[in-house]
Amino acid sequence: MTHSLDQLQISLPSPEQRITPDWKNAERLQIWVKRDDLIHEVISGNKWRKLRQSIRYAQTNHIQHIVSFGGGHSNHLHALGYVCSALKIKLTAIVRGHYHNNDTPMLRDLKAWQADIQFVDRKTYQLRDDDAYLAALSQQYPNAMFIPEGGSSAHALTGVSEILRELRQTYDYILAPVGSGGTLAGLIAGASAQISDKQANIIGIGVLKGQDYLEKLVSNLLLKQALVPVQQANWHIEHGFHFNGYAKTTPELTAFCQHVNHTLDIPIEPVYSGKLFWAAKTLIEQNTFAKDSRILLLHTGGLQGARN
């Protein structure tokens, strides 16, 4: 029996919320937030955008088993685990690190949703995109569909690009956090496909140490899907806001997230959305954007980084 995606009760389109933060120079600009964190209570933000087409493909092709990858706090695995449980699809989660005696809240949820969790060491996890390793896993899990880390598959770009079709107004700049590259690649593909005299400048905010690496991830995703148009969107990645690495934070960043939560009533966390908002604040204070520019921050949801 195939379970309908409608039963997930996804709320789209997500709202565009104007904010007036207490940041220097903010009054010179129009600042909005695309609240993808409100799409669903569990399947939050870009995780649903990147998963939707993959799940549709699995259902259309009667695939009953999905294998994917992530860390012990993975927003992607958390969202995928919920979806698979609701739609009665088996999930095998290959998790970086050994949490046998130290479950995270995310892993406890996966267990409650009957996911098959396989812990691997970091050296093995680094092979997650290696053809030989994936071939061996395919032998181990025949008839399973593999979804890359972060959900950044071929299907992801199509799902993310739908964000731009939802927008109710035009923006000069769109800012989004970058981890596995799928969200930024989807935005670039969507913007490039738009017939418009004025495309938004798309700025990725690297949430990990990845100069050149992140650019290559994004470019490879576009190339693999033949989604590099002649007139490619204007995009770049800012690398000064990763706070020394993925999931790394400081007391200052933690306090900033709490301040945004309190003053703007928008939940953010230090791993993704907190670094996005911090970067926006810094760039605005540096007068990076021309007066009266319209700026959209893409809240990609995923609050596992805020759970203890």
Angle, in degrees to the nearest 10, between helices 46-60 and 154-166: 130
Sign of the Cα torsion 150, 152, 153, 155 reads positive
Residue 32 in contact with residue 171, Cβ under 8 Å? yes
Strand 173-178 versus strand 145-147 pairing type: unpaired
Q: For residue 293, how many other CB atoms are within 10 A of its CB?
A: 16
Quick check: is 74 catalytic?
yes
14, 68, 74, 153: the active-site residue: 74
Strand intervals (E) in the chain: 16-19, 30-35, 65-70, 90-96, 116-120, 145-147, 173-178, 201-206, 235-238, 294-299
Q: Is 9 exposed, middle or buried (0-12, 13-18, 19+ CB in 10 A)?
A: exposed
Spatial CB neighbours of 262, under 8 Å, sequence gap ≥ 6: none
d(CA 95, CA 78): 12
Angle, in degrees to the nearest 10, between helices 75-87 and 46-60: 40
d(CA 180, CA 129): 12
Please give the structure tokens belonging to residue 275.
Answer: 């670094």
Catalogue the active-site residues: 74
